[in-house]
Amino acid sequence: MYEIRIHSRGGQGGVTAARLLALAAFRDGKYATACPFYGAERRGAPVVSYVRIDDRPIRVYSQIRNPDLVIVLDPSVMEVVDVLHGLKRHGKVLMNGTTTEKIHGAPAFAVDLTGIALREKLVIAGSPILNTPVLGALAKMGIISVDSAKSAIREMFSDERNVRAAEAAFQELVI
């Protein structure tokens, strides 16, 4: 089972990113679950979402303590949350930003999701929406296929800017 923990702030699309990722994995013929965990339910508060992907039915629906992949949609969350806590020994980190150096010894990949969202004018209430571009980065990492990412996005959103944002993240992520 591949386990992913997504760290974001309320209003950035982290919960929807988890749902999109699970839907894309399902489109790839996998089993998947998405589970959000809310603290203080308000815009801007730290939010954690969890995704499990497997070839077999998933019978657990809970927080993920030891993820294979940590996604950080808002690097400022790292000031208040230990996002790497429990990361598996060979786990990876996907950061919204431009730094590709290791983070506390973990291999880190980075793509400017915020810049992509702003270029595509994917902004709600002043916050760039990061859920669709991150799917493109995850496709580039091989977590899901690019076709399934696009299919999931189109199923949830009719605005093609979302697909373009995912395509841009796919192109811009350096592996």
Span 119-123, average pLDDT:
95
Inter-CA distances, 163 with 26, 86, 100, 105, 140, Å: 18, 32, 24, 33, 14
Q: Catalogue all structural domains in the chain, each as residue range(s) with its CATH number.
A: 2-172 (3.40.920.10)
Smallest CA-to-CA distance from 56 within 35, 18, 24, 29 is with: 29
Token reading at 113: 């999701």
Q: Band of the pLDDT at 100, cuts 50, 70, 90?
A: low
* pLDDT (0 to 100) of residue 42: 64
- How confident is the prediction for the chain on average, in pLDDT? 93
pLDDT in tens, 31-75: 999 998 866 556 778 899 999 999 999 999 889 999 999 999 999
pLDDT at 107: 80
pLDDT on residue 97: 93
Inter-axis angle of helices 146-156 and 161-172, nearest 10: 150
Mean local confidence (pLDDT), 140-156: 98
Q: How confident is the model at residue 1 (pLDDT cuts 50, 70, 90)?
A: very high
Q: Among 45, 39, 4, which residue's Cα sits nearest to residue 143? A: 4
Q: Which ranges of the chain does DSSP label H, i.e. alpha helix?
A: 14-27, 113-119, 131-140, 146-156, 161-172
pLDDT confidence tier of residue 7, bands split at 50, 70 and 90:
very high
Higher pLDDT, 62 or 171: 171
Mean per-residue pLDDT, 129-138: 97
% of the chain with per-residue pLDDT over 90: 78
